[in-house]
């Protein structure tokens, strides 16, 4: 299943909750996660409503009055200690980390020292955890969003009256297509921007898909002449559409300390890249350089792109779709010197055409037995051939 978000009226935490509820995510999925994470009693209820005459779903987050100010360290501890599903906890922590980094950049202070004001309130914790629980429950393969409308005018904050978009939203939407208007009210909140940054893999018009479910999350204001809603379309991608096509991201880099490359390649793989590699090249004026190439599924593209921008010196990334033909694969285990060694087995038309021992396992056997790695590898390869 894939999803598309229409952000023509921006995004906020309660709009996300309304869209998820309207798309069929059960109230219990969201409320149980929020109850597990919130340090006080929080009630979430949804109801049908209208925005500019159109049907929508409004999510209400009711919290007790509180003047508690929480730092990012406080919220992280709260989330890490909560009995949440691991995927929900990871996504919620990541979303708040994005908020902390944005606020830290805006106020020129370390993220750990950020005091969240409005963002640290119980309703924001409920928004982030509830939305993350809803998306984890859906298990989308790919989430795409339109460019984000941020609104206009001014808004009162703990720091005084600020122009829209507020600084934290500007920071969070770096590298993401957005535009001012179409009305002079705040449409995209920091919480909404952080959730977009966390969950959206690509920014584009609606992909070719068969829409099966629709959620329309209502914003708090009913704006005359403008439907203040966040629409979530869920469905199945058409065969052969970009949703099923992996991408290769490439960039040429000539000014990075080469000692950093192994760690960067590992980070790219950790974020979901299928493969990552370096190619030596010669650039203009005879400068030696490398082309960094990353093969990545669509649903991990945004995370991989973020690693490229944050951890390398690149100023731009090329992206193009590729065709990929994959052999059927399975993993088996052989025993060598009393130790298990995994073997990657590849099949073509049901026939084994390759069997390769896992090198880390081979190295571990060599270390335990005191034998040369090359000798252990030869023995493991011989045993692997018997799997054909």
Report pLDDT digits (tens) over 311-354.
Answer: 999 988 998 888 777 888 899 999 999 999 999 999 998 889 99
Region of poorest pLDDT, from 74-78, 240-244, 383-387: 240-244
Contact 156, 15 (CB under 8 A): no
CATH architecture assigned to 328-385 = Roll (3.10)
Q: Measuring CA to CA, which residue among 161, 88, 97, 168 is closest to residue 130?
A: 88
**pLDDT at position 99 over 80:** yes
Domain boundaries, the chain: 2-237, 245-321, 328-385
The pLDDT tens digits of the residues spanning 154-173 come to: 998 777 899 999 999 999 99
Query: What's the CATH class of domain 245-321?
Result: alpha beta
CB 273 within 8 A of CB 294: yes
Instruction: Check residues 315 and 289 and name the one with the higher pLDDT.
Output: 289
Q: With 90 as the cut, is the pLDDT of residue 238 above it?
A: no
Q: Sorting pLDDT into bands at 50, 70 and 90, what band is 244?
A: low
DSSP string, 229-260: EEEEEEEEEPTTSGGG--EEEEEEESSS-GGG
Phi and psi torsions of 331, nearest 5°: -115, 130
Over range 291-310, report the average pLDDT: 89
Q: Which residues, listed in sequence order, are joined to residue 336 by a DSSP beta bridge?
A: 339
Give the confidence band of 119 by pLDDT, cuts at 50, 70, 90. Answer: low
The position carrying tokens 């049907």 is 55
With a cut of 60, say whether residue 42 has pLDDT above it. Answer: yes
Pull the structure tokens for residue 368. 């335990």
245-321 and 328-385 have identical folds: no
* Angstrom distances, CA of residue 141 to CA of 81, 241, 244, 257: 28, 13, 9, 35
Across the chain, what does the average pLDDT equal?
91
- Tell which phi-psi region holds residue 240, choosing left (phi > 0), alpha (psi between -120 and 50) or beta: left
Is 70 exceeded by the pLDDT of residue 240? no
Q: How many angstroms separate the CA atoms of 79 and 136, rounded?
A: 16
CB burial string 118-132: b at 16+ within 10 A, e below: ebbbbbbbbbbbbbb
Q: What is the DSSP string of 88-123?
A: HHHHHHHHHHHHHHHHHHHHTS-GGG-B-TTTTSHH
Three-state DSSP class for residue 178? strand
Closest Cα to residue 357, out of 371, 372, 367, 374?
A: 374
pLDDT at 149 over 80: yes
User: How confident is the model at residue 47, as a pLDDT?
Assistant: 96
Q: How confident is the model at residue 274 (pLDDT cuts 50, 70, 90)?
A: very high
pLDDT at 154: 92
Among candidates 64, 2, 20, which has minimal Cα distance to 217? 20
pLDDT of residue 120: 56
Comparison of pLDDT for 59 and 242, the residue scoring more = 59
Under 8 Å between Cβ of 301 and 258: no
Q: Which residues contact 190 (CB under 8 A, 6 or more apart)?
A: 99, 102, 103, 119, 166, 168, 169, 172
């Amino acid at each position: 299943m894939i999803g598309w978000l229409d952000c023509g009226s921006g995004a906020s935490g309660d709009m996300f909750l309304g869209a998820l509820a309207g798309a069929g995510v059960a109230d219990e999925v969201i409320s149980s996660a929020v109850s597990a994470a919130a340090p006080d009693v929080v009630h979430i209820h949804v109801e049908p409503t209208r925005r500019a005459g159109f049907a929508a779903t409004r999510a209400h987050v009711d919290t007790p009055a509180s003047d508690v100010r929480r730092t990012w360290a406080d919220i992280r501890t709260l989330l890490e200690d909560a009995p949440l599903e691991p995927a929900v906890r990871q996504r919620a922590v990541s979303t708040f980390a994005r908020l902390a980094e944005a606020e830290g950049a805006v106020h020129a202070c370390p993220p750990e020292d950020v005091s969240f004001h409005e963002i640290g309130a119980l309703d924001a914790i409920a928004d982030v955890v509830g939305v993350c629980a809803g998306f984890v429950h859906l298990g989308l393969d790919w989430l795409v969003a339109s460019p984000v409308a941020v609104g206009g005018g001014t808004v009162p904050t703990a720091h005084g009256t600020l122009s829209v978009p507020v600084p934290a939203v500007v920071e969070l939407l770096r590298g993401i297509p957005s535009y001012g208007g179409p009305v002079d009210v705040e449409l995209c909140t920091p919480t909404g921007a952080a959730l977009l940054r966390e969950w959206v893999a690509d920014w584009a018009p609606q992909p070719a898909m068969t829409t099966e479910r629709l959620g329309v999350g209502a914003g708090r204001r009913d704006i005359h002449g403008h439907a203040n809603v966040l629409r979530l379309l869920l469905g199945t991608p058409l065969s052969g559409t970009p949703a099923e096509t992996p991408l290769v991201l490439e960039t040429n880099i000539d000014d990075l300390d080469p000692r950093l490359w192994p760690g960067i390649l590992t980070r790219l793989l950790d974020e979901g890249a299928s493969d990552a590699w370096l190619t030596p090249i010669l650039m203009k004026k005879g400068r030696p350089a490398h082309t960094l190439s990353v093969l990545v599924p669509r649903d991990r593209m945004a995370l991989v792109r973020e690693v490229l921008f944050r951890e390398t010196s690149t100023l731009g990334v090329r992206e193009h779709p590729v065709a990929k033909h994959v052999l059927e694969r399975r993993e088996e285990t052989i025993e060598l010197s009393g130790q298990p060694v995994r073997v990657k087995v590849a099949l073509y038309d049901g026939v084994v055409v390759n069997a390769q021992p896992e090198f880390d396992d081979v190295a571990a056997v060599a270390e335990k037995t005191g034998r040369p790695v090359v000798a252990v590898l030869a023995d493991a390869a011989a045993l692997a051939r018997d799997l054909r």
